């Protein structure tokens, strides 16, 4: 098996917003086949993986929206925004 590191940099205007690295282990044969399949679709391997990730998240949000609502509240509380705790309903006084 070989490790493949793919990343996607999303930008809005001139400012970089997010950059995350994902390492995937696949055999060299599968990597070559995946690269070829991506080329045949006019896409990149990173782009295809991103599409798959977005699809899985969308399907799971439809199946269990409450699990993602809780997750989003926790992320809000972890943010640096002053009213994040109050908006989340998790503020403690």
Tens-place pLDDT, residues 32-57 = 999 999 999 999 999 999 899 999 99
Q: Which phi and psi (to 5°) does residue 62 adopt? A: -70, -40
- Token pair 């045949």 in the structure block, residue: 40
| Alpha helices per DSSP H over 41-64 | 45-63
Dihedral over alpha carbons 17, 23, 24, 30 (to 10 degrees): 90
pLDDT digits (tens, 9 = 90+) for 5-39: 655 555 445 565 667 788 889 999 999 999 999 99
- Residues in the chain, how many? 93
Q: Return the structure tokens found at 8.
A: 């996607």
Q: Which phi and psi (to 5°) does residue 38 adopt? A: -65, -45
């Amino acid at each position: 098996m070989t490790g493949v590191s793919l990343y996607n940099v999303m930008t809005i205007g001139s400012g970089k917003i997010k950059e995350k690295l994902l390492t995937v282990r696949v055999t060299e044969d599968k990597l070559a086949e995946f690269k070829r399949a991506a080329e045949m679709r006019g896409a990149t391997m990173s782009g295809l993986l991103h599409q798959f990730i977005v699809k899985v998240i969308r399907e799971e949000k439809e199946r269990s929206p409450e699990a993602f609502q809780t997750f989003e509240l926790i992320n809000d509380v972890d943010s640096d925004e002053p009213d994040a705790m109050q908006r989340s309903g998790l503020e403690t006084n």
